[in-house]
Structures are given as structure tokens and as C-alpha cells.
Amino acid sequence: MEMGFIGLGAMGEPIARNLIKAGHVLKVYNRTRSRAEALAGQDTTVVDTPAAACTAGVVASMLADDAAVEGVVFGDNGVLAGLPRGGVHISHSTISVNLSRRLADAHRQRGQLFIAAPVFGRPDAAQAGRLIVVAAGPPEAVERCHPVLEAIGRKLFVIGTDAPAANTVKLGGNFLIASMLETLGEAVALMRKSGVDPATFLEIMVGSFFQSPVYENYGKIIAEQRYEPAGFKLRLGLKDVRLMMAAADEAGAPMPIASLIRDNLISGIAQGLGDLDWSAVARVAALKSGLKT
């Protein structure tokens, strides 16, 4: 399929490479042009604007936050202006439910189609094509883009026609991960204060009760205090928790644990941890326990 791709950061770049590997022909745009030029080749063309990436009628975007998505979609020479009638915009970004609703409405008014398809996984999973993709949007658009959605992950869930539902699932999933990081960080701090080897504790817990790659992978990071390089920065984790709390507020669903996690993430940023992996919220727990590192 000929398509465009916008946003070539830590997640977008490996996703685009996997699309190329699967045989798709891309027009790529990135605000920092050098990142796009690194993909230039026989099946990839670098373009100067988001609108120019949309001419084939299908475009995917992977951007950092609501502001970046709004600028690319609604700005001059943006996706809305460049996508032809009947064209499809696939958004892989983790954005607010409210913005997802606005995007669906804006595309609908122009005779375009919008699919929300956020992904679960860190950059290494993106490179390996092992992401979990959660998609929602018009059935005809999802069917048309099925090969694209399948090319970037190991599992695709299509959960319905209402695009914002996919973003709600993504925020809920990230809340579960953030909750795990908080409680695991507190438990590891307890082990260290009590003279118990965190690796031994994790071997018992992960091997017996919490058999999950999320616990296993993040557990090693926390036990080894290996927060760099960041797979997902702590400051972006705070962004996602705030989006989740906004969604919960709109839905009238109290989530008190989210408030605690938000406050600890804010504390982490205040202590200079914002650019570390978001699992460094465990370091906040350690510092509160009187541990120096």
C-alpha cells in the first residue's frame, strides 16, 4: 500500500521501518527532517509537510502528545488539508479521549475517515514488530487498513466503531502499568531497607504469582536501578496519567490511586528524574524510604 507516515521518534521510526519491511511504500514527514532522511530509499520519499504525506489517501501518525497531534492535523499544510475525501488517518498516538473525539468529528466533516490505533509496547517491541495494537473506527476504514495495522504488531484488537474507545483502553492500560510500577517500587524499597536482595524477591514473585513480561522486564529495571536509556520518559508517563484522570473525570469514575501516582510522578520530575524511564517512580519510593539511590 502507498501511504504516508508522520512522526519518526523513538516509536514512530521503528513502526515506519516495519511498514517498509512489509512492502508498504511510504511518504514520510518529521519535524526534524534528518530523522526522515534516514529512512529515504527506493520505497520511501521524504516530504516537506504533513499534507504532502497524505496524498496517497492513507496516512499514519505517531506523535508525542495532544499539542503535537493538533499542530500536525489542524495546522497549515496539515493532515486535514492534505488528506483527500475518503482518505484515512490512523493515529497511533496516546492522546486524550476528547482530542480523539475532535479528530473523528473533524475528519467526518471533511468526508475523511479516522482510526484511533494506539499501541502497547516500548521501542524494543516496536523494533521487533511485537506491539499490541488497539484499533477503533469506521469498519470500512479498518478493513482497508488491516494490512497496515497487522504489520506493526504481534496482536491486533479491533474493539468497535467509536475511535475514542481505543484511546480509553490505551489510557486504562497505561494506568495499570503505572500502578504496577508504583507498587513494585514501594515493595523493592521495602526489600532494600530490610536487607533482602530485590532480585531474589522478584524471582519469587514473578516466577510464582505475577508471571508477566511487564513485571519481569520492569522488575529487572527497578531492581538494577537501570533507568537509562528511557524507553518511555517519566514526564510522558505523567502526561498519560493526567489524560487518564481527565477521562475518568468526564466519565464520573473515581480513581483515587491515580492521584497518588500523579503526585509521585510530579515529585520525580521535581527531583530531576523527568527524562529517566517512567519506572524511575520507584526511585521516588526509595528516596522517601531514606535510600540514597
Q: Which residues are catalytic?
A: 170
List strand residue ranges (DSSP E) for 152-261, in order: 153-158
**Pairing of β 119-120 and β 131-135:** antiparallel
Rg of the chain over CA atoms, in angstroms?
A: 20
Closest of 60, 114, 51 to residue 79, by C-alpha: 51
CA distances for 211 relative to 9, 172, 205, 278, angstroms? 31, 20, 8, 21
Q: Would you state the cell numbers that stand for residue 142, as one nine-digit string?
A: 479498518
Q: Which residues of 17-27 are buried (b: 16+ CB within 10 A; e: fewer)?
A: bbbbeeebebb
Cβ atoms 50, 70 nearer than 8 A:
no
